[in-house]
Amino acid sequence: MIVKSANINVMTAAARKAARGLLRDFGEVEQLQVSQKGPGDFVSAADHRVEKSLLAELKKGRPDYGFLFEESGPVPGADPHNLWVIDPLDGTTNFLHSIPHFAISIGLVRNGEPIAGVIYQPLTDEMFWGEKGNGAWVNDHRLRVSARRRLDDAVIATGIPHHGRPEPERFLGQLRKVMEVTSGIRRFGAAALDLAYVAAGRFEGFWEIGLKPWDIAAGMIIVREAGGYVSDFDGTQSPLNSGNLLAANDHLHGPLTALLKV
């Protein structure tokens, strides 16, 4: 029997409630694709509606915790140790283009370290969650990272730098090295879900340059609780601080670390 903590119950309930509006908005944005104005302003409003819902629900459950949002930044709380780190719509560009691959990501960071996370994909109704010491799950099924040991059997996910993102040349060097030794590279455009898929064993690893705390706080603890490893590229900083992240199963994290040091 799964025993969810009070924090996980608060987080999953908040994500499900916020997702109702997000699903309605996704239906609307599909129609806006054909309009001359385009859906950009609408999607920005959708982000803020989800954020507002999450703020209200999480404050109700944990009134003293602070917040760090992608859209509106920090919201201080009376408790200096606990911080909700939230991306209300991870995969915004996918959402904007009616690509059905996006999620709500809620991480709980205590004294600088992620201790609980929820990543909810409302279109598939997959609730990925994990908590320090309590394992990682999707809905009611236990998660475990892939057992593959060979890079030439591995599928690796990544995020490709685009306009306004850092270090394209560094990424291209990494891409060349990884593509030469693996069985495939995937780019789906939602870092939180990439991390959830590593935890679920769908990918053997994931790396990206220039991520933000709200992209990865939830996914980091879910991968770790599924038996994987999460670090920056050289093991010197937390990815929450450096923005550079590698997540992989326990067999391939070391070899991938060696490849990404370019």
pLDDT tens-digit readout, 77-96: 999 999 999 999 999 889 88
Please provide the average confidence, as pLDDT, over all residues in the chain: 92
Rounded percentage of the chain residues whose pLDDT exceeds 70: 95
51 has a pLDDT exceeding 60: yes
Q: Indicate whether 32 pLDDT > 80.
A: no
152-166: average pLDDT: 89
Considering only 79-88, 164-173, 196-205, 228-237, which range has the smallest mean pLDDT? 164-173
pLDDT (0 to 100) of residue 220? 98
Q: Which CATH number fits domain 6-142: 2.60.40.10, 3.40.50.300, 3.30.540.10, 3.20.20.70?
A: 3.30.540.10
Q: Per-residue confidence at 152, pLDDT binned at 50, 70, 90?
A: very high
- The segment(s) of the chain belonging to CATH 3.40.190.80 are 151-260
Q: What mean pLDDT do residues 104-132 have?
A: 98
Give the architecture-level CATH label for domain 151-260.
3-Layer(aba) Sandwich (3.40)
Give the pair of three-digit tokens for residue 6: 């009070």
Q: Is the pLDDT of residue 261 over 90?
A: no
What are the backbone dihedrals phi and psi of residue 157, each rounded to the nearest 5 degrees, phi first? -95, 155
Name the nearest CA neighbour of 137 among 145, 146, 128: 128
pTM of the shown model = 0.94
Task: Using alpha carbons only, give the angle 196, 200, 201 rounded to the nearest 5 degrees.
Answer: 120
* CB burial of residue 98 (10 Å; 0-12, 13-18, 19+): middle
Distances (CA, A) of 247 to 21, 140, 168: 31, 23, 20
Q: Outline which parts of the chain fall under CATH 3.30.540.10.
A: 6-142
Please, which pLDDT band fits residue 37 given cuts at 50, 70 and 90? Answer: very low
Mean pLDDT over 23-27 rounds to: 89
State the pLDDT at residue 162: 82
Residue located via tokens 């220039």: 210
